[in-house]
């Protein structure tokens, strides 16, 4: 862990869902580097423990789609670290079939329900549990992990993913409006193609086509998304709420 990073997040407790690997693990590490005390939640207990160990944080196994499990995990985090100041709603899934999106006429109802439960209702479950404390303390930062697919159509994902990420963009604005008067800032990051295990579910030729359509000519690294999350949850963004920050190398414009 770098030790010369500015301690912008000292005194803040952060909780990262889906923090066991990929973007979430990078966010947890970057927040810890900047002085936050970090909790990692993940359905995979081993990944959560490993990511938490790497950043000196606290791990909880938790499926964000399971409301009772969310309540239990948040209580455990509060007992271990204190009240949560920063919620990073990062957990998300994007099922593919042979590396390709599934069209509506072949979509399985159970798969639709699962994606909505994790990507959208999971964010609600977390925010519903943690915002009462934030409002009472008049202090909080929420960062939702949206996607370029929540802003424009992309051939990369299925309709369930597009629907949930688009909803998250709307929900970010809604919560920003509701929570702003109570001292809680709510923003979203919209990543483009980022090199994580999730991205590897997509066919290589599709990933190559995305890079070709990306003005900066490459895919992004999880750490580049993590730095955007730190900006939005740190002291340099005190007057920022309801923003959707693209971290896509310009792919968003294509
Ligand atoms: N990688 C990209 O190109 C990309 C682009 C845009 C948006 N995103 C978004 O970024 C977020 C992270 O993506 P990633 O690429 O790091 O994915 P990833 O699959 O590499 O990691 C996701 C982590 O979330 C965990 N997880 C999955 N379902 C969960 C649940 N129900 N409860 C708790 N944890 C759960 C997984 O175990 C895993 O550790 C997602 O919301 C994704 O939609 C990713």
Task: Quick: pLDDT tens for 80-128.
Answer: 999 999 999 999 999 999 999 999 999 999 999 999 999 999 999 999 9
> Sign of dihedral through CA atoms 240, 243, 244, 245?
negative
**Tell me, what's the pLDDT at 228?**
98
Topology of 13-247 in CATH? Rossmann fold (3.40.50)
Instruction: Report the DSSP pairing between strands 37-42 and 140-145.
Output: unpaired
- Spacing, Cα 83 to ligand 1 middle (Å): 24
And the tokens for 183? 């001292």
Which residues, at least 6 apart from 65, have a Cβ–Cβ distance to it below 8 Å?
A: 114, 117, 118, 121, 122, 125
Ligand 1, atom 38: nearest CA belongs to which residue? 18
For residue 161, give the ligand 1 atom closest to its CA. Answer: 43
Q: In the predicted model, what is the mean pLDDT of residues 32-47?
A: 98
Report d(CA 132, CA 96) in Å as an integer: 36
Report d(CA 184, CA 85) in Å as an integer: 9
Residues marked as catalytic:
161
Residue 72 pLDDT greater than 70, yes or no: yes
**Cβ of 198 below 6 Å from ligand 1:** yes
Q: Among 15, 16, 17, 18, say which to mutate for ligand 1: greatest number of ligand atoms within 8 Å of CB.
A: 18
Q: How many CA atoms lie within 13 A of 138 on its CB side?
A: 2
In this predicted model, what pLDDT tens digit does every residue of 190-212 receive, in sequence order?
999 999 999 989 999 999 999 99
Domain boundaries, the chain: 13-247
In this predicted model, what pLDDT tens digit does every residue of 42-71 receive, in sequence order?
999 999 999 999 999 999 999 999 999 999
Residue 174 pLDDT greater than 90, yes or no: yes
**Cβ of 51 below 6 Å from ligand 1:** no
- The angle formed by the CA atoms of residues 86, 92 and 96, to the nearest 5 degrees, is 165
And the tokens for 205? 């030729």
DSSP assignment letter at 3: S
**Cβ of 201 below 6 Å from ligand 1:** no
**Cβ of 191 below 6 Å from ligand 1:** yes
And the tokens for 155? 């051939």
- Spacing, Cα 181 to ligand 1 middle (Å): 31
**Tell me, what's the pLDDT at 27?**
98
Distances (CA, A) of 250 to 124, 162, 192: 29, 19, 8
**Cβ of 33 below 6 Å from ligand 1:** no
Q: How many CA atoms lie within 13 A of 111 on its CB side?
A: 16
């Amino acid at each position: 862990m770098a030790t010369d990073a500015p301690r912008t997040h000292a005194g803040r407790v952060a909780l990262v869902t889906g923090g066991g690997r990929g973007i979430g693990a990078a966010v947890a590490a970057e927040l810890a580097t900047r002085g936050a005390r970090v909790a990692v939640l993940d359905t995979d207990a081993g990944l959560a423990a490993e990511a938490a160990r790497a950043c000196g944080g606290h791990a909880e196994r938790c499926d964000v789609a399971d409301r009772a499990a969310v309540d239990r995990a948040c209580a455990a985090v509060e007992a271990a670290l204190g009240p949560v100041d920063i919620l990073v709603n990062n957990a998300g899934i994007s099922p593919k079939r042979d590396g390709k999106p599934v069209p509506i006429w072949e979509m399985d109802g159970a798969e639709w329900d699962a994606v909505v439960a994790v990507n959208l209702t999971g964010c609600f479950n977390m925010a519903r549990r943690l915002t009462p404390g934030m409002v009472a303390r008049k202090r909080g930062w929420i960062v939702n992990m949206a996607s370029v697919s929540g802003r424009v159509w992309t051939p990369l994902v299925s309709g369930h993913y597009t629907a949930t990420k688009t909803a998250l963009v709307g929900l970010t604005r809604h919560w920003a409006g509701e929570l702003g008067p109570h001292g809680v800032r709510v923003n979203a990051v919209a990543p483009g193609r980022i090199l994580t295990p999730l991205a590897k579910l997509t066919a290589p030729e599709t990933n190559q086509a995305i890079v070709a359509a990306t003005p900066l000519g490459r895919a992004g690294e999880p750490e580049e998304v993590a730095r955007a999350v730190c900006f939005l949850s740190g002291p340099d963004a005190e007057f920022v709420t309801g923003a959707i920050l693209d971290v896509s190398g310009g792919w968003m414009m294509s």
